[in-house]
Amino acid sequence: MFLPAEYFWLEPVLIASGVVFLVSLLGNLIAFGNRLANAIVTAIVFGLIFGALSFYGYGDVQMRVQTTPSADAPANEMMDGGNTGGTTQ
């Protein structure tokens, strides 16, 4: 990891952006300037590379968020089924 812990989410975004740039460049070189063919070739090449990276487990992002309840947080009204002391039907 080359970024601080608070920016851990940004690393896969930067890597994916680089991969998309390279795939787009490759698609442009293959299609020889035709915009429609370039878009189609880029989509196919991206699908192949993204599928291979996903299949082999690269780019797996696992994050854990821990929350602690605050003393001044309002009580959850759904804890008692939404009954706020009125009559039940």
Q: pLDDT for 3-52, tens place per residue?
A: 777 777 777 788 888 888 888 888 888 877 788 888 888 888 888 887 78
Give dist(CA 84, CA 27) in Å, integer.
61
Residue 38: inside a domain: yes
Give dist(CA 1, CA 11) in Å, integer.
7
Check if the beta carbon of residue 29 is closer than 8 Å to that of residue 45: no
Residue 40: inside a domain: yes
Q: To the nearest 10°, report the CA torsion of 12, 17, 21, 27.
A: 70
69 confidence band (pLDDT: 50, 70, 90): confident
Report the 10 Å Cβ neighbour count for 27.
Answer: 19
pLDDT of residue 43: 84
- pTM (global) more than 0.95: no
Tokens for 67, please give them: 């929350």
Q: Which residues form the domain of 48?
A: 7-59
